[in-house]
Amino acid sequence: MRAPIVVPLADAQKTELAAGMLSDEGLVALSEADFAALHVDRGIFHSVAALNTAFDLRHLRFRFERDRRQVIRYAAMESDQPIVASAVLFPGFLDLWKDTLGEKVLVVVPNRFSAFVFPHLATDYLDYAPMVFRAYRETPYPVSVEVFEVSPSGWRCLGAYTQP
């Protein structure tokens, strides 16, 4: 399913940003008519949406997966609400990770309810393809299996997980 209003992400092959609103029925993608009915400039809408991501962070569960030596392999962001895909767009997203995962991170958002954040230096993030595909398939609301590098200069798609 493709949202009516989308914005491409730099270097991404399939992942797009969609304008939407959270309602009692879940996340609803806005059409051109819906957007016009709001009587709000798109720039203002995007600014308010960015502010809302800070609120969304309060409703997330964060979990670190560690190896036997207690080195963090990845962090999982999870929610019972379909807000994780937008929460990763929080303007201070990198600040959440700099003390644990470093100045740059790798992010994959397989569905609206979960995201995985890897240290940029992780060389084994591709080993997690089965976990990512399981999260991608286990919901009627998949987002992406593309991996993004997030750094102070912004978001950049590095590629996509392939079927294990």
pLDDT above 90 coverage of the chain, percent: 52
Segment (H or E) for 122: none
pLDDT in tens, 141-156: 899 999 999 999 999 9
Predicted local distance difference test score (pLDDT) of residue 4: 62
Nearest C-alpha neighbor of 19 from the set 44, 46, 59: 46
pLDDT at 21: 75
**Range scoring the smallest mean pLDDT among 34-48, 61-75, 146-160:** 34-48
Residue 55, pLDDT score: 81
Choose between 97 and 18: higher pLDDT: 97
Return mean pLDDT, the chain: 87
Top-confidence residue, 96 or 11: 96
Least confident of 8-22, 56-70, 71-85: 8-22
Alpha carbon of residue 27 to chain centroid: 14
C-alpha closest to that of 29 among 2, 56, 59, 57? 2
pTM for the structure as a whole: 0.86
pLDDT given for residue 44 in this prediction: 84
